[in-house]
């Protein structure tokens, strides 16, 4: 915990709810709370405080010389709640959708191979051997060893279910793409609950998939018509940053930028949050405080008030990830270039986790005649790789060195001739994506129990809980808003 700031004579403010952190979780939550509370009382207030000078958290869109790229999340699955939120803040005409049929590739043995997305494609795929395909089919039909009786890692679960080839060549790179994670550390049931839960509920993946198809719920109504097709991914015409900025505009004076929470204490039924602000020190009193912050920041604020919850939150790891944005002339690339991007299994010896072919996905991402790419380096496995190879970890390299790695590996994987890249920029996220390691679900349940018993009125709402996608953040925020409004 940082040294306490002197709040001897600050200006005092009151709010019904204080939300800390203006990422997509905090913004959505504050907006839903403001809507609900203003309908009941003109005096009820929501205050959303953000330590930095901008909203959006890890959502960050950059533009330069006719290029536009994302430094954080690059797209979203268009869930009904997220689509309705986009429509509500006036961005319906800004929605852009990627072709659901764009192929995804795996770089395996010096070749880009498409990920099979159908049984027929799987039969003809060169990504798996004949033995690997037969082993996967055996697992899909339920002929697998029984569960071991303890929580499995991602690799253990998928290797038991579908075989070692599927685990190494498909699951491992997918895990890198979603979590920048290590399949030997992540919990299968926490990181991939829908898949891992099929065996738990129905006895096998095959039986579970059949039941899921039979019991598929009717789609929720959405404000955007026609609704996106299954498998499509979304973005906004000017980039994902449009959504947090539109929410910030809706919130108006309920949002305070440059307000950094440094203290949290309790007096009776009220919580007092101490802030450092551009105007000096401030205290805000509230009945409810929501920490829409990364786990390590929430842990720091709770250290003195709820030590058990603080300790559990501090245990959640966040590996570093670097996003390098490069562009190339069209003539240096395969013709025609069509795809979502490629992932690289760790066994291939490259340091790039994967690359998104950004200008193939969405319009206006690159000038005519050029293509832009986002390469992701680092992640949970990079430190061990660096030790094995006797090379510096990705975060310790200079931006120029990281760009050289990204370019060299794109040249090996994708380019058809030697050419210098157009360097657009990079973003180092020292603590990028929360890792759902073994014991994660129990850890979160204990956090929630400690908050409820020791500090009722303090809540957490962030992507380390049960899903890292933007749609998960919106889902959680809206559910918590309903819960808080029901208690108001």
Q: Are strands 112-114 and 104-107 parallel, antiparallel or unpaired?
A: antiparallel
Query: How confident is the model over 404-409, as a mean pLDDT?
Result: 98
**Predicted local distance difference test score (pLDDT) of residue 371:** 98
**Residue 301 in contact with residue 275, Cβ under 8 Å?**
no
Query: CA separation (Å) from 400 to 55, 61, 165, 344, 394?
Result: 28, 21, 35, 22, 12
Dist CA 109 CA 184 (whole Å) = 22
Closest among 383, 82, 111, 426 to 234, alpha carbons compared: 82
Model pLDDT for residues 81-90, shown as the tens digit of each residue: 999 999 999 9
pLDDT at 4 over 50: no
Say which residues have a Cβ less than 8 Å from residue 389's Cβ, sequence separation at least 6.
none
Query: How confident is the model over 34-38, as a mean pLDDT?
Result: 90
Model pLDDT for residues 287-316, shown as the tens digit of each residue: 999 999 999 999 999 999 999 999 999 999
Beta carbons within 10 angstroms of residue 153's beta carbon: 18
Model pLDDT for residues 251-290, shown as the tens digit of each residue: 999 999 999 999 999 999 999 999 999 999 999 999 999 9
pTM of structure: 0.94
**Lowest pLDDT segment from 156-165, 209-218, 306-315:** 209-218
What band does 10 get if pLDDT is binned at 50, 70 and 90? Answer: low
Dist CA 478 CA 169 (whole Å) = 37
Dist CA 38 CA 46 (whole Å) = 9
């Amino acid at each position: 915990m940082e040294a306490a700031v002197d709040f001897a004579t600050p200006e005092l403010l009151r709010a019904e709810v204080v939300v800390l952190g203006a990422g997509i979780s905090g913004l959505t939550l504050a907006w839903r709370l403001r809507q609900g509370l203003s309908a009941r009382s003109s005096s009820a207030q929501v205050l959303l405080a953000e330590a930095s000078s901008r909203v959006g958290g890890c959502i960050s869109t950059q533009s330069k010389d006719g290029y536009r790229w994302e430094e954080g999340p690059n797209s979203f699955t268009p869930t009904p709640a997220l689509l309705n939120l986009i429509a509500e803040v006036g961005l319906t005409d800004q929605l852009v959708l990627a072709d659901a049929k764009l192929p995804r590739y795996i770089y395996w043995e010096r070749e880009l191979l498409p990920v099979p997305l159908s049984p027929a494609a799987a039969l003809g795929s060169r990504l798996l051997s004949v033995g690997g395909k037969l082993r996967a089919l055996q697992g899909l039909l339920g002929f697998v060893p029984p569960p071991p009786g303890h929580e499995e890692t991602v690799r253990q679960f998928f290797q038991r279910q579908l075989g070692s080839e599927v685990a190494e060549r498909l699951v491992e790179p997918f895990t890198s793409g979603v979590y920048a994670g290590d399949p030997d550390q992540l919990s299968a049931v926490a990181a991939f609950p829908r898949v891992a839960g099929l065996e738990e509920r129905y006895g096998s993946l095959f039986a579970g998939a059949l039941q899921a198809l039979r019991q598929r719920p009717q789609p929720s109504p959405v404000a955007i018509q026609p609704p996106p097709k299954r498998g499509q991914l979304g973005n906004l015409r000017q980039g994902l940053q449009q959504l947090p900025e539109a929410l910030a505009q809706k919130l108006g004076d309920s949002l305070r930028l440059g307000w950094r929470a440094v203290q949290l204490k309790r007096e009776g039924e009220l919580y007092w949050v101490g802030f450092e602000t551009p105007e000096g020190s401030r205290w805000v009193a509230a009945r409810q405080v929501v920490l829409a912050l990364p786990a390590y920041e929430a842990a720091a604020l709770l250290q003195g008030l709820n030590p058990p919850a603080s300790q559990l939150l501090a245990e959640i790891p966040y590996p570093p990830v670097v996003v390098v944005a490069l562009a190339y002339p069209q003539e240096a690339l395969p013709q025609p270039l069509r795809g979502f991007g490629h992932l690289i299994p760790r066994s291939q010896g490259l340091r790039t986790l994967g690359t998104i072919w950004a200008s193939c996905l969405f319009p206006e991402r690159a000038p005519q005649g050029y293509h832009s790419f986002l390469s992701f380096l680092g992640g949970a496995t990079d430190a061990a790789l660096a030790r094995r190879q006797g090379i510096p970890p990705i975060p310790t390299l200079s931006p120029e060195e990281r760009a050289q790695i990204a370019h060299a590996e794109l040249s090996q994987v994708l380019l058809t001739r030697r050419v210098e890249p157009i360097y657009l920029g990079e973003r180092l996220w020292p603590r990028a994506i929360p890792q759902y390691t073994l014991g994660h679900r129990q850890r979160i349940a204990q956090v929630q129990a400690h908050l409820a018993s020791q500090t009722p009125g303090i809540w957490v709402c962030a992507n380390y809980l049960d899903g890292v996608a933007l749609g998960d953040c919106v889902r959680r925020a809206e559910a918590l808003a309903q819960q808080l409004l029901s208690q108001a």
